[in-house]
Structure 1
């Protein structure tokens, strides 16, 4: 009897998870297509505005170690942000090792290598040591007003955020890519803020 109930409950969880993943995949494909159709000039302008908001915000909050990303699939470009940083700030890029995210120091001119996932990763040198001066910029496909983030399905950032719960997190996206409600799985992690070309919003 117990095994029967256990089996039924697990089957229900499996069905719910399957439905959630189906909804996520549908939304993900639609949003990425729309993002790729943004005119180049508009993409550059919006990316610049995002970088301006981030630069001001980082300065106001006195962060020094900034975990950035290399733009992928027409994501907002952070190169304008990096160019404007003073030597007092350090930037780190992610590298996937054994399905875990590790962040390594990145400086202008450093070589990046294309990964199996299509992203560009840094060389393994100085690894990040998280402190109260560290902030994470999180790439995403979409976000809702509750801080639920729609990523690419790998779960790498969810795991990293879960393992570092005190780390401030800022999702980066274009305002057109926001949606009202994102389907959520038990392992999904919320972010603290999100930044679009219109400004930075705190998740209540």
Structure 2
């Protein structure tokens, strides 16, 4: 199964990379519109969201929207030693610098860790999703471990429509995503229905 996952990862990285920049921006804009129309998002007090990296769905406009609504923005800080994500409040993009894997994280002096139980929603990236809530990320399991530590938070995956596949190979430790939002649709994972 590991080989199958690695092959799917490589295939999806290439597929995502082939989406032209202007089209990625347009698709990200539609995903943003879909997200901000969710009642759960507007009712939340604290949302964890990644800062987009490379060709991922862009999140900066969403982060600015959350700030404008006085919703706390929390971003993941990678801890490679134990392969964990620790959430930290973010007040400004000026607080960011490249961290683990080149992903933007708060500068050391701007890290403000939060209690995991205070996170209402987690917006999660992925290389691919399926309609049963299957998700494949970059392969280190950071988010799967994080979901175990945040059982009360609602998890929403965001992806370009091109990132939907028929079936993600799932292992016992892989966590399913109940709601996936693309530029074309809202997907309530069949696994949870």
For the criterion TM > 0.5, the same-fold answer is yes
Alpha-carbon separation, structure 2, partners of 1:58 and 1:71: 23
Give the TM-score taking structure 1 as reference length.
0.84
Residue ranges of structure 2 left out of the alignment (5+ in a row): none
Show the 5 A alignment for 1:9-88. 20-58=1-39, 62-85=43-66, 86-88=68-70
Structure 1 residue corresponding to 2:168, chosen from 159, 179, 182: 182
Bigger radius of gyration among the two: 1
Aligned partners of 1:142 and 1:179 also within 8 Å:
yes
Q: Does 1:135 align with 2:121?
A: yes
Residue ranges of structure 1 left out of the alignment (5+ in a row): 1-19
Superposed displacement of residue 132, structure 1: 6.6
2:75 is paired with a residue of what secondary structure?
Answer: strand
Give the TM-score taking structure 2 as reference length.
0.88
Cα root mean square deviation, aligned = 1.8
Alpha-carbon separation, structure 2, partners of 1:165 and 1:87: 25
Structure 2 residue corresponding to 1:100, chosen from 54, 66, 84: 84
Aligned partners of 1:104 and 1:123 also within 8 Å:
no
Question: Which residue does 2:138 correspond to in 1?
Answer: 152
Alpha-carbon separation, structure 2, partners of 1:168 and 1:60: 10
